[in-house]
Amino acid sequence: MKLKLYNTLTKSIEFFEPIHPEKVGLYACGPTVYDFTHIGHLRKYTMDDVLIRALRHGKDGYELKFVENITDVGHLASDADTGEDKLEKGAKKYNKSVWDIAKEFEDYFFKSMDMMGNVRPDVSCRATDHIQQQLDMVIKLEKNGFAYVIEKDGVYFDTSKFPDYGKMAGLNLDEQEAGAGNSAEIAKGKRNPSDFALWKFEREGEDRAMVWPSPWNERSFPGWHIECSAMSMEYLGEQFDIHTGGIDHIPVHHTNEIAQAEAVTGKKPFVKFWVHHNFLKVEGEKMSKSLGNVYTIDDVTKKGFHPLSLRLLFLTAHYRSEMNFTWDNLAGAQKAYEKLIKTMVHMNDFVDKNGQKPSDQVINNKYQEEFFYSIGNDLNTAQAVSVMWNVVADKDLTISTKRDLLLEFNKVLGLAFDRADETLNELEKHIQTFEISDEVKGLLKQREDARANKDFTKSDEIRDQLLEKGYRIQDVTTGQKIEKF
């Protein structure tokens, strides 16, 4: 598979060639662990996962080192370097210590990733475990003439000293204001509106839990941007191949990463390929706590959906396109996923029983070529999923060949085809876990008891009652499967 990717740095689709043959370094911007991971995050990390699987796929796959950070300090509420640290804000919201909040939501992030079938990073690095690396970088930037100190505020990067600042984002420094904020939010003492904090000082009257001594202040802490440059270079070197993130990171966070990293090393480019993911909307709206539409993986499963149904839904859209999530389209994805898993179970049973061998090599190679061309074409997962369905529908393929093709595709799509029996059982349990009234729960229990007593007449009567209430009941090996319609 020859991989082409859209590179935000050059604003073009390019063939991927690593800096070092056969080895790839990939850094993914990880979560700020002050609150629950939501489905918008899940989409980004799931599409990262497809990229990682594609790079590693097959005998010719790359030896890939996957590094991902955990932001547990320094991410201020405003990109303009003002406002509360998000961890301090989260601690107040949940009435816990910042350390407890960071641990709780880091654990929730990885739980969510595991449920979505995403591979764990080779290196997961916390900002608080790499304070010295970040501090050393800021000290060097000051020594190199790229940083200045604002008394009682912090150490700032002087963007006027870096001619290429904002090049990736296409920023005009004469017009740019501070980060995503407005002129009223610019920290006092900044030389230029685009200058950003490398290191911050505890303000008068504050009593921060996360502070460290520095050459400028005894009670200080890193800015948000410095962690990613410091930690990515710690594990991947001064220049590496791929950096991923959301499109919201382009104008501020990733622009600042490039500036501080290249100012420290003098090497360009800091990262060869920048891969950015578009937003997920919910029912046509931006996700917002005020709208009550910020959903987590637990919200998904409570409504009776399997996490991999959500994964399949994500795969039906290109990572660079905006996607609209609805519960209806997730329901459709679940039906499609259930069909795929049942197909795999039936194919496994048939092949095991008949010992059928793969054949149809010409068609086999054709579908493989179409699938991996789609993946290689800037991760066109929607097209790849379409190829997968064509394999399922092709009556000229032997069952064994179909199975082998789907198992091969699964190595990149991550849909658990290799454990279809187990997944089918999970699906049946998930479908039954959506929220239902106590009345319906009572009827289900009565029907279960009736069947246990072999009173099938009563069982059928209760089934009809449930049908009138909008619930379809099916008897399966694990018990009663209930669907709402």
Model pTM score: 0.88
Q: How confident is the model at residue 485 (pLDDT cuts 50, 70, 90)?
A: low
| Three-point CA angle 392, 394, 399, nearest 5° | 65
Q: List pLDDT tens digits, range 136-178.
A: 999 999 999 999 999 999 999 999 999 999 999 998 766 555 4
Q: How confident is the model at residue 183 (pLDDT cuts 50, 70, 90)?
A: very low
Cα separation, 312 vs 329, in Å, equals 11
For the CA atoms of 110, 111, 116, 121, the dihedral, rounded to the nearest 10 degrees, stands at: 20
Encode burial over 102-139: b for 16+ CB neighbours within 10 A, e otherwise: bebbbebbbebbebbbbeebebbbbbbebbebbbebbb
Q: 229, 265, 246, 207: which is closest to 134 by C-alpha?
A: 229
Q: Give the pLDDT of residue 362.
A: 64
Judging by DSSP bridges, how do beta strands 196-201 and 220-222 pair with one another? antiparallel
Cα separation, 343 vs 363, in Å, equals 19
Q: List pLDDT tens digits, range 74-127.
A: 999 887 788 889 999 999 999 999 999 999 999 999 999 999 999 999 999 999
Q: List pLDDT tens digits, range 364-405.
A: 789 999 999 999 999 999 999 999 999 999 999 999 999 999
Cα separation, 206 vs 250, in Å, equals 31
Cα separation, 78 vs 352, in Å, equals 59
Q: List pLDDT tens digits, range 2-58.
A: 999 999 999 999 999 999 998 999 999 999 999 999 999 999 999 999 999 999 998
Domains of the chain and CATH, by start: 4-277 (3.40.50.620), 282-428 (1.20.120.1910), 436-484 (no CATH)
Q: 483, 443, 115: which is closest to 299 by C-alpha?
A: 115
- Please, is 478 exposed, middle or buried when counting C-beta atoms within 10 Å of its C-beta (0-12, 13-18, 19+)? exposed
Q: Give the pLDDT of residue 184.
A: 41
Q: 184, 209, 219, 196: which is closest to 150 by C-alpha?
A: 196
